[in-house]
Amino acid sequence: MTAVAVHNVQKTYNKIPVVNNLSFEIPRGEMFGLLGPNGAGKSTTIRMLITLTRPTQGEIRVAGYDVRRQAAQVKRSIGVVLQQVSVDVDLTVWENLEFHGRMHHIPNPERQQRIDRWLGYVGLSERKDSLVKTLSGGMKRRLQIARALLHEPEILFLDEPTVGLDPQNRRRLWEIIQDLNQQGMTMLLTTHYMEEVEFLCDRIGIMDAGALIELGTLAEFKAKHGEGIVIQQQGDRLESQFFPTLDAANAHIEAARDRTGMMSRATNLEDIFVKLTGHQLD
């Protein structure tokens, strides 16, 4: 079954299209990565999916519900973790989850059981009585994940969830995200870390200028664009050339008269992203 369906969606501001004829689907249980340079339309797309912005035209269905006509049902079916810290720093860890649970009308004692369960899951049980302002950045992000999961959503939206975190906390969040996905939760992830997408995502959509320009798995991208790449220094620029295989890339260097500044390696997602968009992901 389909968890997210986006069909011919357009969003315009002041008659300027920010998202233009966007279509894709996410099956249940998939970990889907949405990439794009700044201004590509990712944030607007996420805002439409979580009912914060209405599409100008087209249809979006999340968990089977139309985001325009059935926004309340959509909100009950999704969890959202934004890059900004969105928990109340003047409340304790437990108070943040208690408030969220009451907003979702989760009755006691089930609410307390869920709070204990998800605090344990993200490793914050011992900090339940701590003010959020005393937590580290990684702990705050883990609290946001616990809050997003408290009402047991079908789909989790993660908008740059690890931005600004040190490598250790980023890896800890990767483990949590991967485990949730392995339990069957559908997820949509946006990020500026290519290795995050390569490690976590089943399929990847690349947006540029409001349109989806590539969709598939990393293996499909490599098969289409090339599994080997030759990079050569040309003045102050690096020129890249793709080859079907790494062996073919190596053979190209071997056959070159002047190999100065040339190197070959296996293609990665960043290489393909730059080829398609002309931008680094920053």
Per-residue pLDDT tens over the stretch 235-253: 888 889 999 999 999 999 9
Q: Where in the chain is the domain with CATH 3.40.50.300?
A: 2-215
- Does 86 have pLDDT greater than 80? yes
- Cβ atoms of 151 and 111 within 8 Å: the answer is no
- Does 281 have pLDDT greater than 60? no
How many residues does the structure list for the chain?
282
- Does 279 have pLDDT greater than 80? no
Return all residues near 282 (Cβ < 8 A) that are at least 6 apart.
Answer: 38, 192
Q: Tell me what pLDDT residue 246 has.
A: 97
pLDDT in tens, 179-217: 999 999 999 999 988 999 999 999 999 999 999 999 999
* Helix segments in the chain, DSSP class H: 42-49, 71-77, 93-103, 110-121, 137-149, 167-182, 194-200, 218-225, 246-255, 269-277
pLDDT band at 280 (very low <50, low <70, confident <90, very high): low
Q: Tell me what pLDDT residue 209 has.
A: 93
Cα separation, 106 vs 117, whole angstroms? 14
Q: Tell me what pLDDT residue 261 has.
A: 87
Look up tokens 């315009």; give the residue. 12
Neighbours of 215 (CB within 10 A): 16
pLDDT in tens, 101-140: 999 999 999 999 999 999 999 999 999 999 999 999 999 9
pLDDT band at 176 (very low <50, low <70, confident <90, very high): very high
* Amino acid (one-letter) located at 216: G
Q: Tell me what pLDDT residue 164 has.
A: 84
Cα separation, 243 vs 101, whole angstroms? 53
Q: Tell me what pLDDT residue 233 has.
A: 86
Q: Fold for 2-215, please state it.
A: Rossmann fold (3.40.50)
- The radius of gyration of the chain's CA atoms, rounded to the nearest angstrom, is 21
Query: Could you tell me the two tokens for 28?
Result: 């249940």
pLDDT band at 229 (very low <50, low <70, confident <90, very high): very high
pLDDT in tens, 33-62: 999 998 899 999 999 999 999 999 999 999
Tell me the average pLDDT of the chain.
Answer: 94
pLDDT band at 72 (very low <50, low <70, confident <90, very high): very high
pLDDT above 70 covers a percentage of the chain that reads 99
- Does 282 have pLDDT greater than 60? no
